[in-house]
Amino acid sequence: MKTLPSSGAAVILITLPLFLFILRGAPALPELVVHGKPAKKVQNVADMTHKVPKHHQTMATGNPGIPENHPEISGNHGTSESSLNNLNDTASNSGTGMVVAGKPEAAEAGAAILRSGGNATDAAISALLVLSVKHIGAFCIGGEAPMLVYDAARDEVKVLSGQGAAPLDPEAIAWYMANGIPGTSIRAAAVPAVIDLAVTALQHYGTISFEDAAEATLRILDDGGPTWYIDTSGSDTVDTGRDWYSDLAATLRKLIEAERTAIGTRNEKLQAVSNRFYRGDIADELDAWYREQDGFLRKRDLAAHVTHIEDPVQVAYRGYTVYKVGPWTQGPYLLQTLNLLNGFDVKGMEHLSADYIHTVTEAMKLALADRDAWYGDPRFNSVPMTALLSGEYSDVRRPLIDMQSASEEVVPGDPWIMEPRSATAVPYTEQGGTTTLVASDRWGNVVALTPSGLGSQAGSGGKTGVIHGARLVSLNTWEGHPNRIEPGKRPRITLTPTLVLKDGKPVIAISIAGGDLQDQVALQLLLNHIEFGMLPDEASRSPRFNTNHHTGSFGQGPPAIGSLRLQNRIPEEVVAELKRRGHRPETTDGGIGGSAMLYVDPETGMMYGAGSAVQSGD
């Protein structure tokens, strides 16, 4: 690879759903590759945290050049085929950054970009493309990946939407309204979003070419692979009947050819990549396949696709500013929960006490009820986001939390008139795979993504090798609901990265895999740090809990009223007290959500990163 312009080395954390890595009776841990010299071996999940001093606080302004004494990666990069008690994983630590990935190939791809002088976005996009092959079934190149970016040069947080939409054809929408949204066929697929996300991220925040970003992925594809893959949302084996490795390699080379032959600036050359995929011969091939499969997507849907760069939503909590993607994801309900908790002495509660678990759970129930009643694509609906995130609204909702009794209602409020209870009732019908990625570089840029390819069972897209997801299943067919399917509408998805700033500088990045429980886990990681002072390793190892007291996001199933799942490391007496208060607790020796968490100490610049083993979810 040629020498690349640099915005500094990066921290990359990528964790994958561990139900894919069950070996010798124990889940494999995320791969760890750190940019620099060899360090100690990681023996267990408690050790899976590495600190990197952030020597350079200067913000990048484009192409600052390659730093002096630019370190190289050395040592064994480990294997994902290790048990919890025997993780043969070597870390490196040179004071410039680290890479943690659920597949060693993805980790090395990011590390190679860093060695060549690329920045955090460059490394993340390279790792992302590798994951679309090496972790197919959990994430696919025809899937989605919402992205939050803190850009140090501009001192701002932005959202890259990374989510495709429903078909534009009104007749297709009429079919969904009459027949429902299928779970796994090509009719459940949204427009593929990953290629344009990669292009947009590189145009606005990266420094390398698409060709460089795809180099590692092409090497993997050229080595060949099976015609089948496992859809992690249902553990089904899907045989494509084609050598989709070769097909996808040919597609990527067409995109690289478009970039090479385009005339103009770097950004114009990158745009040629998207144009060929969404508006050229690749779009023609996909259109033909959609028709063969009796799907509804067409070339005009691809041509209309744009990765929107949007403002995030945010709230202040205990001196921190927490940022989430807007209401086309479930992310804002985490912010609503924080607003509710602002009225409690959370720090004064013993961590994982009955009071703590009860209060957090009841606050989440209220916020989730609002999610289910009010959230949807704001380009189509007037979502009362300002009101939902206001202190006034939290104040009228907070008294609904009874410290001695668990709620057995699903109670959305009415933010339009500031009433604690809404007359709106959420209907129900009886109708995953996700990964995580966060990155930070020494120049102060921070990125968080939540990539996914939910329900990828439609097979490979003709001769393109593009495997699609099934994200339209997160829309509904309820008349008048803000998340009802419409032409060109994005589904209200669960994918929900998190960024946190303190005194205007990024300190925390979180990405979670786990479907509806993603922000329940993210919330607990935040509270573990903000309220109880835990660094990522301790925060990630701490026992977790979650509730399904909400509408399901995959088929709109009814809530499990009063449900509360707790890891069995939580004391029995706490579980008994929660049951006395009316919860319906169940304990598990398994995990709850998989996480990637990055913390940058604002005083010392030290970087701390940890990834927990991912459990099932989307």
Q: Residue 394: which CATH number?
A: 1.10.246.130
Answer whether 40's CB lies under 8 Å from 92's CB.
Answer: no
Q: Of 195, 161, 158, nearest to 307 (Cα)?
A: 161
- The answer to the question of residue 227 being in a domain is no
Point out which residues pair with 435 in neighbouring strands.
none
Separation CA 282–CA 603 (nearest Å): 50
- DSSP string for residues in 187-220: GGPPPP-HHHHHHHHHHHH--S-HHHHHHHHHHH
Separation CA 523–CA 520 (nearest Å): 5
- The answer to the question of residue 575 being in a domain is yes
Q: Whole-model pTM? A: 0.85
Point out which residues pair with 479 in neighbouring strands.
none
For 538, other C-beta atoms within 10 Å of its C-beta total: 16
- The answer to the question of residue 246 being in a domain is no
Tokens coding 382: 């007037």
Burial letters for 234-248: b for 16+ Cβ neighbours within 10 Å, e otherwise? eeeebebebbbbebb
- The answer to the question of residue 526 being in a domain is yes
Domain count, the chain: 1
Separation CA 196–CA 205 (nearest Å): 14
Which pLDDT belongs to residue 100?
A: 64
> Residue 570: which domain range?
324-432+515-611
- The answer to the question of residue 108 being in a domain is no
Which pLDDT belongs to residue 562?
A: 93
- The answer to the question of residue 119 being in a domain is no
- The answer to the question of residue 289 being in a domain is no
- The answer to the question of residue 241 being in a domain is no
Residues of the chain with pLDDT under 70: 1-102, 232-234, 424-436, 441-442, 454-456, 612-618
State pLDDT tens for residues 156-169.
999 999 999 999 99
